[in-house]
Amino acid sequence: DPVGDGAEGGHMHREMLDQPAAAERVLRGRLDERFGTAHLGGLNMDARETRAIRRVKILGCGSAYYVGQMGASLVEELARIPADAEAASEFRYRDPVIEPDTLYVAVSQSGETIDTLLAVEEIRRKGGRVIGLVNVVGSAIARACDGGIYLHAGPEVAVASTKALTTMFLGFSLLALQLGRTRDLSIADGKRLIAGLQALPAQIEEVLKSEDQLALVAARLAEAESLFFIGRVRGFPVAREGAQKFKEITYRHAEAYQTSELKHGPLALISPVVPTVAIVPDDELADRNVAALHEISARGGPLVVVTHPDVDLGDVRCERIDVPRSERELDPILMTIPLQVLAFHAATTLGLDVDKPRNLAKSVTVE
The residues binding ligand AGP (CB under 6 A) are 61-64, 108-110, 113, 116, 159-161, 248, 363-364
What's the closest the beta carbon of residue 209 comes to ligand AGP, in angstroms? 23
Q: 307-336 b/e with 16+ CB inside 10 Å = b?
A: bbeebebeebebbbbebebbbebbbbbbbb
Pick between residue 325 and residue 362 the one whose CB is nearest to ligand AGP.
Answer: 362
Pick between residue 23 and residue 53 the one whose CB is nearest to ligand AGP.
Answer: 23
Instruction: Report the side by side order of strands in the sheet with 276-280.
Output: 253-258, 226-231, 276-280, 303-307, 319-322
What's the closest the beta carbon of residue 251 comes to ligand AGP, in angstroms? 14
User: Containing H/E element for 128?
Assistant: none
The residues, any chain, with a CB within 8 Å of residue 282's CB and separated by 6 or more, are 307, 308, 310, 311, 325
- Candidates 129, 125, 342, 362; CA nearest to 250 is 342
Provide the residue type at 273 as one letter.
V
Residue whose CB is nearest to ligand AGP in the complex, by number = 62
What's the closest the beta carbon of residue 118 comes to ligand AGP, in angstroms? 12
Pick between residue 120 and residue 159 the one whose CB is nearest to ligand AGP.
Answer: 159
Pick between residue 202 and residue 360 the one whose CB is nearest to ligand AGP.
Answer: 360
Q: Which residues pair with 153 in a beta bridge?
A: none
Q: What is the DSSP letter of 96?
A: P
What's the closest the beta carbon of residue 188 comes to ligand AGP, in angstroms? 35
Cα dihedral sign, 112-118-121-127:
negative
What's the closest the beta carbon of residue 183 comes to ligand AGP, in angstroms? 29
Pick between residue 64 and residue 145 the one whose CB is nearest to ligand AGP.
Answer: 64
The residues, any chain, with a CB within 8 Å of residue 6's CB and separated by 6 or more, are none
What's the closest the beta carbon of residue 77 comes to ligand AGP, in angstroms? 24
Whole-number CA gyration radius for the chain: 20
Pick between residue 232 and residue 356 the one whose CB is nearest to ligand AGP.
Answer: 356
What's the closest the beta carbon of residue 42 comes to ligand AGP, in angstroms? 18
Q: Is 352 left (phi over 0), alpha (psi -120 to 50) or beta?
A: beta
Percentages helix, strand, coil for the chain, rounded to the nearest 5? 50, 15, 35
Q: Tell me the C-alpha distance between 254 and 257, whole Å.
A: 10
Pick between residue 89 and residue 173 the one whose CB is nearest to ligand AGP.
Answer: 89
Pick between residue 153 and residue 290 the one whose CB is nearest to ligand AGP.
Answer: 153
What's the closest the beta carbon of residue 48 comes to ligand AGP, in angstroms? 31
